[in-house]
Amino acid sequence: MSDYVEVEVERQGHNIDVEKVWDPSPVSVLVDPEKLQQVIMNLSLNAIQAMPKGGVLTVCIDGAPGGAGAGYASFSIGDTGCGISQENLEKIWAPFFTTKSNGTGLGLAIVKKIVESHSGVIEVASEIDKGTTVKVFLPLAKQS
d(CA 133, CA 136): 10
d(CA 27, CA 23): 10
Report the pLDDT value the prediction gives residue 1, as an integer from 0 to 100.
31
Residue 38 lies in a domain: yes
Residue 62 lies in a domain: yes
Residue 16 and residue 57 in contact, taking contact as beta carbons nearer than 8 Å: yes
Res. 97: pLDDT tops 90: no
Residue 144 lies in a domain: no
| Listed residue (84, 68, 1, 74) closest to 39, CA to CA | 74
Residue 54 lies in a domain: yes
Residue 63 and residue 25 in contact, taking contact as beta carbons nearer than 8 Å: yes
Res. 141: pLDDT tops 90: no
> What mean pLDDT comes out for the span 14-38?
86
Res. 69: pLDDT tops 80: no
Reported pTM: 0.86
Domain holding 24, by residue range, is 3-139
Report the pLDDT value the prediction gives residue 38, as an integer from 0 to 100.
93
Res. 67: pLDDT tops 70: no
Strands 55-63 and 16-22: parallel
* Span 34-53, pLDDT tens digits: 999 999 999 998 998 899 89
Average pLDDT, the chain: 85
SS3 90: coil
CATH number (domain holding residue 131): 3.30.565.10
Q: What proportion of the chain, given as a percentage, has pLDDT over 90?
A: 49
Report the pLDDT value the prediction gives residue 19, as an integer from 0 to 100.
87
> What mean pLDDT comes out for the span 55-70?
76
